[in-house]
Amino acid sequence: MRTMLNIANYEVRHILKDRVAFAIVFLAPLFFAFLMGSVYYSAAINDVPFALVDLDNSLASREVADYFSTGQHFKINPEIDTCEKMEKAMREGIIRGGIVVPEDFSKKLARKQSTEVLVVYDASNLLWGYNIRKFAYEGMDEFNRRYAAAYLQSMGMHPAQSDEVLNLVNCSIMTWYNPTYSYINFLYAGVIFIILHQLGLLGVTLTIPREKEGNTWIHYLASPLERWQIIFGKSLPYIIAGIFNYALLLWFAHHFILLKIEGSILLIALLGFLYTCAIIFLGFFISLYAENSLQISRYLILLSIPIFMISGYTWPRYRIPGIIIAISELTPFTWMAEAFRKVTIKNLGFPDIAYNVLGLSIMIVIGLALSGTFRKDREPIAEDKIRVNGGPEYPRRV
């Protein structure tokens, strides 16, 4: 144990001396979490830039306009009052949607004829498109209800009776787990985990190439140290740093970005420990067989986006091809992201994430097994050769 801690101490000294390594391990996670949190801080989309073109200019059309102009969903641009201006503003990105009330709107209503308003929206961004469509349907449903109530009352029906007629069938909607439809609760935890995943991998995978480039890795291979001592000694600082960053980013996300974190603290801690260990041990294996630091940096950049996309975190897994799902299950991120959402958003217990815990545990065992595949050359240590001793300075000449 003392030898392993000495190796860890040696690794920590390298991290503290190397400014880039120190930034990757300790500073970059919080910086990226803050940056991403600033993007998603609003949590929901409101004040959508919108245009309202009223070609009828009647009492009925103004009632339609009232909903779109007085609520929090839309921010009406008063300068856009024609279809031509609306089309131009949509092309230039000044607005994201608009509504056109036709000229004969009030006349058709008076004759009890079917009529319609035109709602257009920019669906190049699906979030804009989905929210505008949802808000527009809500607005027109509200107008129809008010208009029908006014019509029934004009026919002599008491307001209470008209309300009863219009509310014969009610739809009771109960939203579970994320009632505010917060985009932070949907996405931000996954952003945190991909940050920890990629920066944790980057930190640990640079350790062995650094030793190889400095011609010091051979000292470990020729030393009497056991493989497990080298693996744990080199990995321990990164495991501790990973757990620290995990706790720090969750604290930051909960208190400043308002990420919903409920459920068992023990389960959250267990998931963080398993996730970190799986990343570090798999990263140590990668570092053993990487040719140089540049090769590692290139590969990790290529991995970051696919890992997030194929995990099923933002898209239903049953709509993803089976072969891609199988590939995604080879990464710790997939198991962690699903389990964390179950615990913190759905407030589920251990039986509901036991499969995920098992998956992360298996990945730790596989990572350790693969990390122990490197070849050690045991040779007698001559007095004039470099050897690894039991002190804090690794390695040194005796």
Exposure class string for 315-326: b at 16+ Cβ within 10 A, else e:
eeeeeeeeeeee
* Contact status, residue 41 vs residue 257, Cβ threshold 8 Å: yes
Tell me which of 234 and 73 has the higher pLDDT: 234
Q: Tell me how crowded residue 70 is: count the other CB atoms within 10 A of its CB.
A: 10
Q: Which of 167, 165, 168 is nearest to 157 (CA)?
A: 165
What pLDDT was estimated at residue 350?
A: 95
What pLDDT was estimated at residue 265?
A: 95
Per-residue confidence at 40, pLDDT binned at 50, 70, 90? low
Beta partners for 396? Answer: 387
Per-residue confidence at 356, pLDDT binned at 50, 70, 90? very high
What's 48-166's CATH class?
Answer: alpha beta
Tell me which of 211 and 246 has the higher pLDDT: 246
> 3-class SS at 382?
coil
* Contact status, residue 87 vs residue 63, Cβ threshold 8 Å: no
> How far is residue 207's CA from residue 385's CA, in Å, rounded to a whole number?
23
Within 13 Å, how many C-alpha atoms sit on residue 94's CB side? 14
Tell me which of 384 and 350 has the higher pLDDT: 350
Section 316-325 average pLDDT: 84
Exposure class string for 248-264: b at 16+ Cβ within 10 A, else e:
ebbebbeeebbbbbebb
Q: Say yes or no to pLDDT of 322 above 90.
A: no
Q: Where are the domains of the chain?
A: 2-41+181-387, 48-166
What pLDDT was estimated at residue 272?
A: 96
